Amino acid sequence: MSKPIDQKLVGLHLASPWVRLGAYLLETILITVTLGIGWIVWALVISGNGQTPAKKIMDLTVIDKISLQPLSLGKMFWLRGVLGYFATIIVTITLGLLSLMPFWDRHNQNLWDKFSSSYVLRNYLPGN
């Protein structure tokens, strides 16, 4: 059963849900690798003074709410770094499910395509 499509899209090639999913996964891998390298560098630079490089530049310090002392390297790394990272992954996966929306949308659009009133086309040449 084919999906009904807007007449203005006739002759244009909408990117299939599989192609869009592939592009999303590739972007996710590229972002993860890039951020992963940055995260490792950040973890190596951080010290036990309750500061990250950005917090140091902005003269900010993370302190323990009980002792009021700068957070230890362990808490900065494990709780704020590793645990925070995994919490971010969970949120990303949840929101990433929206990337599957083209599989059930008649114009292969996801939520942000609808927000921006856009389509994703394959091999599109403007003016043709």
pLDDT for residue 5: 61
pTM: 0.44
Provide the 3-class DSSP secondary structure of residue 14: strand
> What pLDDT score was predicted for residue 43?
63
> How many percent of the chain have pLDDT more than 70?
88
Provide mean pLDDT across the span 61-75.
83
Q: Left, alpha or beta for 127 (phi > 0: left; psi -120 to 50: alpha)?
A: left
